[in-house]
Amino acid sequence: MDDPEAGSTWFLSLVSIVLMVVTVLALASMFFGFEASEVERKVVDKPVVELQELKLSQQETLTESGTYEIENADGESEKRYRIPVSNAMNLIIAEEKSRSSSEEISEGSVATR
């Protein structure tokens, strides 16, 4: 047997090609399936810890009193006071009420003259 039979060579070649294609397609589908599940697990479902910490620190800043410094247009450092937003709203309301009542009193005195 110097030369193999042509039919068996063709059959073996076709079977090998089909097995290789099936193996490559199976591995590709497994790879992309695992990749999608890993992206879902590590990126999409993972809570963003830094963002949550930043949000908590900003909420604490809004509810606490304190001081901080800024630089004005002249380059001088100014000390500023920070108060909770709810306290600031109450102060503004009280200031507006006192201003409106003082305007009513002054208008009343002008009208009686």
List, for residues 19-75, the tens digit of each pLDDT value. 999 999 999 999 999 999 988 888 777 767 878 888 899 888 888 888 888 898 888
- Where does the chain have alpha helices with state H? 6-39, 49-63, 85-112
CB 70 within 8 A of CB 80: yes
The model's confidence at residue 84, banded by pLDDT at 50, 70 and 90, is: confident
Q: What is the CA radius of gyration of the chain?
A: 39
Q: Which residue, 88, 83, 90, 85, is CA-closest to 66?
A: 83
Q: Which of 90, 71, 69, 88 is nearest to 79 (CA)?
A: 69
| 80: enclosing H helix or E strand | strand 77-82
